[in-house]
Structures are given as structure tokens and as C-alpha cells.
Amino acid sequence: MSAIIIRGGRLIDPANKRDEIADLYIVDGKIVGSKSEIREEFTRRGGKSEIEEIDARGLIVAPGLIDIHVHLREPGFGHKETIESGGRAAAAGGFTTIVCMPNTSPTADNPSTIAWIKDRAMAIARVNVLPTGAISRNLAGEELAPIGHCIQNHEVMRRAVEYARMVGVPVLDHCQDYNLVGNGVVHEGYWSTLLGLPGWPAAGEEAIVMRNILLAELCDHQIHCQHVSAAGSVRLIREARKRGIKISGEVCPHHIALTDEAIQNFDTNCKMNPPLRSQADVDALMEGISDGTLSILCSDHAPHANFEKEVEFDAAPFGIVGLETELGLFIDLLVHKHHQIDIARLIAMYTIAPARLLKIDAGTLSIGARADVTLIDPELEWTVRIDQFESASRNSPFNGWKLKGRAVRTIAGGKTVWKL
């Protein structure tokens, strides 16, 4: 039998509307209500009262954080990331549950591939890994998978939403109209014109957001728009939510930390999908976070090997790693610098909001819940060092950035899986 007492921290548990200085008690990987329950359990089992005590004074004790948008690359692309290395990166970032995307090889569009990912994660990952299934077979957007790329055929997407409603799961969509985006590699605007790079108009995202709103209303079912980046998308989601439509959106840290000005030196670590956009778009995202239009924070962790990024800008793959920097970036930018939200709201966007969207048993410190806990020092100043990442890849534009706020211990199932 194992027991832990986390003492004197600021316990923030949005699911139970708790925000107080309190101790947290864990027995055999579950949250219990008091130290007396630990002693009773020891007595019942005839054991000795050997308890690990963690001093959390000055720290935030939060439910284990959830990231619903992660690319783990396995199966098929283990040179970029593996389930094992991605799990370590998640733990180092403060995450106890991650949701991995289906663009693997083979594509996660069938029960056998999903089962392989779940079994592999159970055996080797430090954290909980929840695989998603592709909506369309081979991510082609043309034929429904038996259970990503954005579905371009609106009829296929409608049927996918209807089937999802039948089984009670949300639809997560990468909003990209390929006809509008074309061969764009950066935000269409001043910098794309100046640098002579193919432009990616914001309308390429907004058109699919609008499509999703219409289908969410038609089917009366939840559609979640991934990595929202454009001001128009925020406006559309805000207006739809006011009308009670089941639509939601998420934000990645790079879309508020950087603008398209960052591409002026052709740094391929600033090439992501969707692209970095204008300051006006950043301002709209900030407002959307502040007023609750955008309810979830995530990374879109997209690892690539060095040799893949060390090519011409047009030829480089989209994406950056994010699991180990996202919490620090969001605390630094949203809480400390711009005062858009407080730390309790930030934790809610990483716990109760994604747990409710996905209808999973996570993101809470309720008695009897699995002991997934993240300890956070919101005042800790630190510098991003990509050579210290747990991830197998290093493609980050934030190397050398000085941030304020970081996870200092991650506990999954009552076991410390990472400690600063």
C-alpha cells in the first residue's frame, strides 16, 4: 500500500469549485478525504503507517492537466516521436492525460490500429494516452472510417457527425478548406507578400468553422474546432455559442505568442498549420479566451526530426513541439503579462473543460478519483532549453525564451512520473 499527503498547497479544483489552501490525500492511486482514512486503511490491511509527504507551500495543486491535441507519431514515424518519448514530454509539461491524433502510418482509422496504440501506451507511457479515430478512411476525406485531415465533402462530414451523435462522442475537426488554402505555407498578408511565400488566407479556416457551425446546428451535436487561429473564426464561434449551438474551440500557445512577423528570417520552426497570423488575429484570440468563446488550451504538439526541418521553408513540414513549453507560455502570457485570465480559469481550461468535452473521467480531485495531480509554481522563472527536452524532437521557436510559471511535479495514478 502507498500513501501520499500533499501539504499546504493552493488546491484549485474547478470541477468541485474548490480554491483553497488545503492538504490532499492519496491512497493506492486514488484521492481520499482525510489522513484518518489513510490510517484506517493501513490498519485494515495490517500495515505500517509509512506516508510520503510533499510540501506544496507556495505551489498550486491542480488536477492532472489534459492536452487534447497531441501528435505522438507512432505507429510509423518513430524517428520524430514515440509513445514513450511523447509520454515523458507530457509528464515534464505537467500533463497526465493526452489525446493523440490519428495521422499515423497506418492511419488510426480502424480498431486494430487503435488497439495497438492503447496497448503500447498502457505498457510504456508514463501518462494516460487516449487515441482518436480518423473520421475518414486513410484521412482522405471521402469515405467514412469504421469507427487529421479536414473532411472537405460536407455530406461525409454530416454523416460523421450524425454517427458520432449516435454513440455520444464529439467530433474534433482540423478546420482547413484546401481549395482556399491551396499551396499556402504562411499567413496571407504583408509578410507573405514581402517574402514571396505562398499565402494561406484566414478564410481557409473560417469557411470550415462556418460549415461546422451549420452542421452542429443541423445535427444538434458537439463539434470542436481545433487550433483556432483567425479572428473571423473567433467571431463565428462566439455568435454561434450565443445561439446555443454546440460548437467549441481551442487555442495553441504559438498562436498568441507569435505573429507572422516571426517568419521573416525563414525559420522553419515558425512554420505551423494553421500558420502564425497577424496581430489583429492574436488580439481576437486573446479576447476569445478572456470572454470564454475559446474554452480549451492545448499544444498541437507536432514533432519533426532536425533533418526534416533543415530544408527550404516551402519544403519543410508544418508543426512544432509544444508539450514541454505550453503551460509556461500560457501562464506567462495569459496570467502574468496580459492579465487575460487568472490561474484558476487557466487550470479549468486544462481540466474540467476538456474532460467535459470528451466525457472522460479525468480533470478532477474528487474523492475516489484517480490520483492524477499536477503541482505548479506560477512564479517560477525559467528558460526554455530545447537540448533538455524529453521529446525526441527539438523543433521549437521558443528556445531561450524566459518564462514565468511551470509544472514542478506530475503525479499519475498516485505515482510521481516527473519532478523538476
Task: Tell me the C-alpha distance between 220 and 164, whole Å.
Answer: 11
> Among 172, 150, 185, which residue's Cα sits nearest to residue 318?
185
Where in the sequence numbering do the catalytic residues fall? 300
